[in-house]
Amino acid sequence: MITRPMIAAVLMATTASVSAAAGPLQVTSSILVESRSAAADGTTRITLVKPGKVTPGDKVIFVLAYRNTGKQPLANVVLANPLPAAISYRSANPGSPAPDVSVDGTTYGALDALRVRSLDGSTRAASPNDVTSVRWRIANPIPAGSQGQFAFQAVLK
């Protein structure tokens, strides 16, 4: 079981980094977990909440929110989020574009295009468990005062 202080440590380790931004870009990173409860109609209601305790196998949602607080558009913005070893990437969150992923912290692309080198020198197709970082390149300039967010799903190992 992981407690709130441990989640805080994971959050600090996964703070988004910003590169190639030419101005006042405010970026926040947060981690949420799924909470399930019974709804009055007998269905299961799923909500996203701040984590209290997380156990292996729990789904966690990483959210990177950005905002241009300046007076000019910001171009060539890249948001990157490293993953700690205790977290296994799963997919982009519904409604969020798929990020490029990396298995080595240097090379990014679609997961199905990446390879991992084994100790014996052979290579194999990368899996979600191999992902060490995710990133998004924002294609269009971010207008002044504009904001948005990206999110991805992961699992605590």
pLDDT in tens, 27-37: 998 999 888 88
Domain span at residue 21 reads 4-156
pTM for the full predicted model = 0.78
Number of structural domains, the chain?
1
Q: What are phi and psi of 3, to 5 degrees?
A: -95, 175
Q: Which two tokens stand for residue 39?
A: 């709804």
- d(Cα 144, Cα 156) in Å, to the nearest integer? 37
What are the pLDDT digits (tens) for 42-100? 999 888 889 888 889 988 999 999 999 999 999 999 999 999 889 999 999 888 899 99
pLDDT confidence band for 125 (50 / 70 / 90): very high
What are the pLDDT digits (tens) for 80-94? 999 988 999 999 988
The CATH code of the domain that includes 139 is 2.60.40
Residue 140: other Cβ atoms inside 10 A: 9
Burial code of 71-96, b = ≥16 C-beta within 10 A, e = fewer? eeebeebebbbbbeebbbbbebbeeb
Please give the full DSSP string across 98-151, using - where no structure is assigned: PPEEESSSS-EE-GGG-EEE-TTS-EEE--GGG--EEEEEE-S-B-TT-EEEEE
